[in-house]
Amino acid sequence: MTNRSGYVAIVGRPNVGKSTLLNRLIGQKIAITTPKPQTTRHRILGINTIGADQIVYVDTPGIHLNAKKALNRQLNRTATGTIGEVDVIVLVVEALRWTEEDDLVVSKLADISTPVILAVNKVDKIKDKEDLLPFLAKAGGKFPFAAVVPLSARRGDNIAPLEREILPRLPEGAAMFPEDQVTDRSQRFIAAELVREKLMRVLEKELPYALTVEIEKFDWDPKEERFEIAALIWVERDSQKAIVIGKGGAALKEVGRQARLDMQHVFDQRVYLQLWVKVKEGWSDDERALKSLGYDDL
């Protein structure tokens, strides 16, 4: 039996569940998830080794309209730049909701010969499943898809059929990563992302879009037997700094508590976490600042 190994891009507009799908496919949390659009800002590899076969998933930022700031343009470049570099593409859309941004994503696929599988996510939210059939037919006609798979990333429904559609379309070859490796990202990167996820969840509607996290310190303390982590939260204005800190420091304290618990679960070690908030004016529309803060995935 021939071994197969290759790269699979997970693409789509913001907030369709791409990162939730990645985590479900890998079997553990490596990409942060929130109900907010544009949660994913980086290209993240998720490695799933199935026997002698290996699927390397590439989670990408949501492709979106109105990319006015440098950060938004970088997110779109990261996502679209991945399309031409993989063996299979999984286009994720939301069941019963096809938007102008979905059309934008499909337009990016027009000139490629890579097989594209349509994953129709969030089918668990549909009360009457008969409503799904006409949507599947209409969505399936938008592009010459290799397959159409309805699924629920949140519940894990129909994940195996998606993998069965992907594997035969990968090239023959040996695994590219060790079988116990699940991502190309460092613990330092994951720590920053977990802090950003908790900021998005705790602040919700008050969340400043122009917010990012930089890890200043990530050390192992053998005496205390714990990771000692210090994270800087960058915002663009003093008013945003006040929002992140919250009344009496309550918001920042809750972010730190939740992030520390998640880190301990992901790293399987005790964690001592410190958070600071600083202002860097205009960072989200400054190409040089973006690069210094790690937004250079391409």
Query: 113-136, pLDDT tens digit by residue?
Result: 999 999 999 999 998 888 899 999
Same domain, yes or no: 80 and 159: yes
Same domain, yes or no: 89 and 225: no
- 297 in any annotated domain: no
- State how far the Cα of 200 lies from the Cα of 168, in Å rounded to an integer: 38
Question: Residues near 149 by Cβ (< 8 Å), separated by ≥ 6?
Answer: 117, 118, 119, 120, 158, 161, 162, 165
Q: What secondary structure letter does DSSP report for 40?
A: -
Same domain, yes or no: 165 and 232: no
- 268 in any annotated domain: yes
Same domain, yes or no: 207 and 93: no
pLDDT at 21 over 60: yes
- 298 in any annotated domain: no
The pLDDT, as a whole number, for residue 66 is 65
Question: 206: domain range?
Answer: 187-292
Same domain, yes or no: 130 and 26: yes
Say how many C-beta atoms besides its own lie within 10 A of residue 249's C-beta: 11
pLDDT at 165 over 70: yes
Number of domains in the chain: 2
Residues 163-189 have a mean pLDDT of 93
- 146 in any annotated domain: yes
What is the average pLDDT score of the chain?
A: 88
Comparing 69 with 164, which gets the higher pLDDT? Answer: 164
Same domain, yes or no: 205 and 75: no
Same domain, yes or no: 85 and 225: no
The CATH number of residue 216's host domain is: 3.30.300.20
Same domain, yes or no: 209 and 120: no
- 60 in any annotated domain: yes
Could you give the residue ranges of the DSSP H alpha helices within the chain? 18-26, 70-83, 100-108, 132-140, 159-166, 187-203, 238-245, 250-267, 287-292
The pLDDT, as a whole number, for residue 298 is 42
Residues 146-155 have a mean pLDDT of 96
pLDDT at 295 over 70: no
Same domain, yes or no: 48 and 112: yes
Angle at 40 between CA 105 and CA 174, to 5 degrees: 80
pLDDT at 254 over 70: yes
Question: Residues near 107 by Cβ (< 8 Å), separated by ≥ 6?
Answer: none
The CATH number of residue 76's host domain is: 3.40.50.300
- 277 in any annotated domain: yes
User: Rounded to 10 degrees, what is the CA torsion of 284, 288, 291, 293?
Assistant: -60
Same domain, yes or no: 159 and 215: no
Question: Residues near 279 by Cβ (< 8 Å), separated by ≥ 6?
Answer: 234, 235, 236, 237, 238, 240, 241
Beta-ladder partners of 229: 218, 273
